Structure formats: structure tokens, C-alpha cells
Amino acid sequence: MNIPLITDIRGNCLDDGPGIRTIIFFKGCTLHCIWCHNPETYSSSPELSVSRDDCIRCGSCAPVCPQGAISPLHPEITDREKCNLCFQCTGHCPSKARRRVGIPMTVEEVLDICLSDKAFYDVSGGGVTFSGGEPGMYPEWTGQLARQLKDNGISVYMETAGCIPYREVRKHLLPYLSGIYMDIKLIDPELHKRYCGRDNQEILGNFRHFLEDSEELGYEFLPRTPLIPGITDTEDNLRQIAAFYHTNGVTRTQLLPYNPTWYPKAEKLGIRINEELSGLQQPQSIEHLQKCRDIFEEAGIPCI
């Protein structure tokens, strides 16, 4: 069984599903979208996050680094080529500016955290959402957790990019889900490969499978599109997505406005920001977002 690393478990959330929710962020993704709002989940391996803003320049981390990757004069800087991810520095950082991203957890450990908030789920109609990263990369592990959550009367939603082993997900995970939110970012396969790291043939095929199985298994299925300026929010792309939805009988969708708050997270991990996105640090206007919604409304597909 492929066991995931967890980057965060965030309680009392009002997004990513109905009611009050606990969001579990899985590390690792089959895509590599250049705008990913959770760049710390690109890799399935642990990573070192260093926050310059939180660093108090005490220098406690430098002497304990066996690779000499930290400058005593500038402890907020890490030589990523020297760093071997031993994470010794994180235990000597009083301000928590240095931290390990990605922790192995058992199904039971995650379940206990979720169960502690069950009263909030019950009152609000909420539950647990698997996010990431790509939770569909770990169908057996997530299936075990989803089954135990369902046995405890907790609904489970999953966010997915759809580039996953569908048969395994269908077998181990889908029977225990109350809802799936699936991203459709780009229809053109070459643009999808350029901006997301691979083409979308498998994704579009899995989309149809999810939609068909939602009727048999009774889970909510909601396709979503992140609106990335000049990339996914173009009129041509949105009309192609609307046409694809219409052909496949989709009755509603959700558009996700661009959120530039991912920039600091990428910098902390030493991830270089793509030049095409370097100047896009402002959200879209209300007028532009309405134009995007109008495209789907005109195709008879309301945006929730």
C-alpha cells in the first residue's frame, strides 16, 4: 500500500464542501501546474520550508547542519544543493521559521483528529475533505480512512485533478465518498501539457467515469475550473470547457478566482516562480469574473 505524507490537517474550514470541515492535505501530485496554490504538495517526498519573515537571525540552526548548508551570518538562507533534508535545523529553530513539510501519519492518527471535531460536522452538515496534492494517488490508504469516517457518520469529499488510477480509486475509495470536486483546467491537450506537465487524455476519460459512477454510487460530482489569468480564463478555453460539459450532460460548475497567496509558500520551499506568473499577484476584477460566468450560463450550465 502506498502510504502518503500529510502536509497539514486544517480544522474549522468553511470551504471545500458543505458545513464546517476538516481539510486533509496530501503530499504528492501527478500534475505540476505552474500556478499550484499548494506548491508544497508537488513532491511526494518531505521538503524543508524556510520563512525569512519568521527567522529571528539567532543562528542556532547553522552549527547543527552537518552539510554546512546554512550561513551563520545569514541563517535565513539555505543552500538547497548542499541540504540533504536531515531536518536537524528544524529542531533548533525557536521561531519555527524552519519546518519539515510532509509527515507520515497512520490512518488511526488522522481519524482521531477528525473525530475530535465530529460535533461541528453534525451541527453544520459538514465533514472531512481530502485535498492536496492529489489524494487519489493513495487509493488504498484514503479508502481505509474514508471507510472509517463513514462508519462514524462523517461525510467525506475529495478534491482531485483526475490524473489518477481510476480502477483503484473506484475499488477502494469511491464507495465511501459523499462528494467529488474535480478540476478541469484546460481542454487543449498541448496547452495542458505545457502548463500542467502532461496532457489531459486520462483526465477527461476519468471525468466521464466519475460522472457516470456518481449516479450509481450516489455521490455529488462538481467540476471546477481555477481561473488563471491569461491561461485558463481565456474565452476560448472556457467555451471549450462549457462545450465539453454540455456534451457530457453536466448541469453545474464552479469557477475558482485566481488566488496569488501561493507565492510566499513557493519561495519558502526554494521553488522558482514561472516567469509567466511572476507579475500576476493581483486577483481578477469582479467584471472579468462575471464575464467568465456568463460563458457557462449561456451554455445552460449555472455557476454555483
What are the two backbone dihedrals, phi and then psi, of residue 182, each rounded to the nearest 5 degrees? -120, 130
* Residues recorded for the chain: 304
What are the two backbone dihedrals, phi and then psi, of residue 32, each rounded to the nearest 5 degrees? -140, 65
At 129, which amino acid appears?
T
State percent of the chain over pLDDT 70.
Answer: 98
- Domain residue ranges in the chain: 5-44+102-298, 47-101
Distance CA 82, CA 57 (A): 20
Distance CA 215, CA 172 (A): 18
What does the pLDDT look like over 217-259, one tens digit per residue?
999 999 999 999 999 999 999 999 999 999 999 999 999 998 8
SS3 102: coil
Using alpha carbons only, give the angle 81, 79, 97 rounded to the nearest 5 degrees: 130
State the CB neighbour count (10 A cutoff) for residue 67.
15
pTM score of the predicted model: 0.94
Distance CA 105, CA 27 (A): 12
State the CB neighbour count (10 A cutoff) for residue 83.
19
Domain 47-101 class, CATH top level = alpha beta
Distance CA 70, CA 83 (A): 9
What does the pLDDT look like over 57-98, one tens digit per residue?
999 999 999 999 999 999 999 999 999 999 999 999 999 999
Distance CA 130, CA 147 (A): 13
186 close to 200: Cβ distance less than 8 angstroms: yes
DSSP state of 52: T
- What nine digits make up the cell of 147? 471507510
Distance CA 164, CA 147 (A): 19
Is a pLDDT exceeding 70 seen at residue 104? yes
Mean pLDDT for all residues in the chain: 95
Distance CA 102, CA 40 (A): 8
Is a pLDDT exceeding 70 seen at residue 279? no
Domain 5-44+102-298 class, CATH top level = alpha beta
Distance CA 265, CA 257 (A): 18
Per-residue pLDDT, 262: 81
- What nine digits make up the cell of 75? 541563517
Comparing CA positions, the residue from 180, 189, 254, 165 lying closest to residue 212 is 180
